[in-house]
Structure 1
Amino acid sequence: MLEKRKSGNFKILNLGEMAFTRLDSRCLYTLLICMAFGSTLSSNAEINVNAPQDFEIVDPGYLGYLYLQWQRPLSLDNFKECTVEYELKYRNIDSENWKTVITKNLCYKDGFDLNKGVEAKIRTLLPGQCTNGSEVQSSWAEVTYWTSLQGNLGTKIQDMDCIYYNWQDLLCSWKSGMGVHFDTNYNLFYWYEGLHHALQCADYIKVNGKNIGCRFPYLESSDYKDFYICVNGSSESEPIRPSYFIFQLQNIVKPLPPDYLSLIVKSSEDISLKWNMPRGPIPAKCFIYEIKFTEDDTTWVTTTVENEIYIARTSNESKRLCFLVRQKYL
């Protein structure tokens, strides 16, 4: 074995010591790398976040337009500089599909069919830039909501029908529930965004003193919005189950028939059929017209966007010609 000697400030090692020293340095370096990597994993694994607090569904009395609201979760002090988001899912209980919303707010509003229950769930989301690169999600907070289900199903109104005549006059009608007591009467309430509270029908259609429909007043700024209706009832003999409806007025428009239908026979074969559009707020470009023409025992139907059409008779011997014109809102 070679001896160790000192020369100045240098230490001379033998071959065995040199090999051991190099091996020891590599192991130490590898150990440091492993420790650093292990520390990063441990840091990520410890990051978690709570679900939102006080999650609830609030009914403000708008006949189906509900508020879903919550509070920030606890233990967010370490993430004050982060933008916290919430994933909200909700549906009517018998629906197959959830509606999903990602929001930074603490409240969300939407319409629901209150003939059925409502269920919703929410969780907190922390973005990757706040959690070393991967999004962190909390567990779900869940809530359900039901309106009062008093009264048997048979006490609800039947055959509810609403028509918005010529985009001006809304009329709804219904039939009484099956087997209800003779003293049962129904009341209609409605709401749409822009009203401060739900209103009761002020002009009922009555038969034998019972309400069987409603004529609505002028509905300012009500188009292209969800229109909510509730028809409930009262009876001294039994509770009455309420009925809820949601629709948009432009989808139930029924235009008036054309005005001043005129027929001009230009020759033995050619006939000109012309009519005027009825007065009202609906623009002419929004109509399509259906014409039904019967000649003896032959009938055919055609459509046009114009308010005039030329028709050729198939026979000069025709004994009966009949024309019907109606219009449809596109």
Structure 2
Amino acid sequence: MITHFLRNHIIGDIKIVNLGEMAFICLYNRCLAIFLICIAFGYTSSSDLEIKVNPPEDFEIVDPGYLGFLYLQWQPPVSLENFKACAVEYELKFRSIGGGRWKTVITKNLRYKYGFDLNKGIEAKIHTLLPKQCTNGSEVRSLWSEATYWMPEQGNLETKIKDMDCIYYNWQNLLCSWEPGKGVHFDANYYLFYWYEGLDHALQCTDYIKANGKNVGCRFPQLESPDYKDFYVCVNGSSESKSIRSSYFIFQLQNIVKPLPPDYLSINVKNLLEVNLQWSIPRGSIPAKCFIYEIEFTEGDIAWVTTTFDNEMCIMRTSNGSHELCFSTRSKVNIYCADDGIWSEWSNEKCWKGMNSKNSS
């Protein structure tokens, strides 16, 4: 447009412009120069100026005394006045030191609670997130704020207890046992503490199992609503001669249930070929829908093992001879009620021969 304007105002070698036209031409040249400078330095408009936000303040990992259930907490970043209308979020990452992948959480809160294995250190980092609607269409993140946490490591590693084993018998009675660590003095003894959500504070075992006067296990009291929650245990020790390293454990009780075996079995042989096996649902408070069974069946020299979710099954004999038939079964909590479980003991064997049956132990 400007070149067209100038072309129309040139007579020979003389350019005829008035004062207003000259001002317009100068303004055009100035804008063109500024545009070229912006291109050279990567700016195209004032709306694309870089937006920054500070990381959260006072980021820390707090131990409330729950044996591994920790608080990760922080304060909002400073200088948020320009983003008061924005829903500021935080991206939190944490893991056990040397534990591989980070766990990531996006939250608007100023605290996050999580259970950690205190046998290892914990590292965490967090930054502030500004949503796209507050930053012209691109998410803005602050620098990271970082924190770490370690339990004080007192005593040599070999002084920790060994072979910790916890079983929730028949989904009612919890018992834990362990072996003493190596190299501990004769005056050393171990003590168990536990906590799960619902308790005000960690509790100490009140019924220790003893061997040679030393604590080697704990019988827990009747627990109130502990299922499907993380159960935290610490076993520490004391000795006048040397420090003892503490051990920490996290598990869920429904995953360590050991039920009773069925206590009634029957064999019903039809037409000498079809065999119906039945057994009672194990005694106790475990719902019938929560069981899986393993059946061991023998017919003469043939033996096999199978599993079923029902408390009966029908099989076909390999022959109609007079071979003795025997079976026993055991139970476990199934995948619909727990992630894992412990097989019960085997039931007493039930046998059949001819038209007579017998129990054998």
Listed as ranges, the gaps of 5+ residues in structure 1 are 1-11
Q: Out of 103, 109, 117, which is 2:107 matched to? A: 103
Give SS of 2:158's match.
Answer: helix
2:209 is the alignment partner of 1:211: no
> What amino acid sits opposite 1:153 in the alignment?
L
2:197 is the alignment partner of 1:189: no
Q: Which residue of the partner structure matches residue 149 of structure 2?
A: 145
Give SS of 2:264's match.
Answer: strand
* Cα distance per residue 1:199-229 (max 9 Å; x no partner): 1111111112211111112222211111111
Q: For 1:202 and 1:254, how far apart are their aligned partners in 2? A: 23
CA contact (8 A) 1:295 1:318 kept: no
> How high is the TM-score relative to the length of structure 1?
0.87
Q: For 2:190 and 2:320, how far apart are their aligned partners in 1? A: 59
Give SS of 2:177's match.
Answer: strand
> What amino acid sits opposite 1:156 in the alignment?
K
Distance change (3 Å), C-alpha of 1:158 and 1:35: same
2:184 is the alignment partner of 1:180: yes
Tell me the CA shift for residue 266 of structure 1.
5.0
Moved more, 80-89 or 112-121: 80-89
Tell me the CA shift for residue 271 of structure 1.
4.3
Tell me the CA shift for residue 131 of structure 1.
2.7
> What amino acid sits opposite 2:105 in the alignment?
V
Q: For 1:154 and 1:229, how far apart are their aligned partners in 2? A: 19
2:58 is the alignment partner of 1:54: yes
Matches within 5 A, 1:74-153: 74-153=78-157
Tell me the CA shift for residue 253 of structure 1.
1.6
Q: Which residue of the partner structure matches residue 235 of structure 1?
A: 239
Tell me the CA shift for residue 304 of structure 1.
2.4
* Cα distance per residue 1:35-89 (max 9 Å; x no partner): 5895875564453221111111000000001001111111222222222111111
2:272 is the alignment partner of 1:274: no
2:223 is the alignment partner of 1:223: no
Q: For 2:278 and 2:293, how far apart are their aligned partners in 1? A: 11
Q: For 2:48 and 2:315, how far apart are their aligned partners in 1? A: 79
Give SS of 1:49's match.
Answer: coil
2:296 is the alignment partner of 1:292: yes
> What amino acid sits opposite 2:75 in the alignment?
Q
Tell me the CA shift for residue 314 of structure 1.
3.6
Distance change (3 Å), C-alpha of 1:113 and 1:30: farther
Q: Which residue of the partner structure matches residue 77 of structure 2?
A: 73
Aligned residues: 319
Q: For 2:32 and 2:138, how far apart are their aligned partners in 1? A: 22
* Cα distance per residue 1:179-214 (max 9 Å; x no partner): 222222111111111111111111111112211111
List structure 1 runs of 4+ shifted beyond 6 angstroms: 19-24
2:175 is the alignment partner of 1:171: yes
* Cα distance per residue 1:85-114 (max 9 Å; x no partner): 111111000111001111111111101110
Distance change (3 Å), C-alpha of 1:297 and 1:19: farther
Matches within 5 A, 1:297-308: 297-308=301-312
> What amino acid sits opposite 2:162 in the alignment?
Q
CA contact (8 A) 2:72 2:111 kept: yes
CA contact (8 A) 2:9 2:17 kept: no
CA contact (8 A) 2:53 2:140 kept: yes
Moved more, 43-52 or 106-115: 43-52
Tell me the CA shift for residue 157 of structure 1.
0.6
* Cα distance per residue 1:224-260 (max 9 Å; x no partner): 1111111111111111100011111111122110122
Q: Out of 151, 154, 159, which is 1:155 matched to? A: 159
Distance change (3 Å), C-alpha of 1:18 and 1:292: farther
Identity, % of aligned pairs? Answer: 68
Q: Out of 238, 249, 254, which is 2:253 matched to? A: 249
CA contact (8 A) 1:44 1:131 kept: no
Q: Which residue of the partner structure matches residue 28 of structure 1?
A: 27
Q: For 1:265 and 1:130, how far apart are their aligned partners in 2? A: 77
Distance change (3 Å), C-alpha of 1:120 and 1:272: same
Moved more, 264-273 or 21-30: 21-30
Q: Which residue of the partner structure matches residue 15 of structure 2?
A: 17
Tell me the CA shift for residue 312 of structure 1.
4.3
CA contact (8 A) 2:262 2:283 kept: no
Distance change (3 Å), C-alpha of 1:200 and 1:30: farther
Give SS of 2:82's match.
Answer: helix
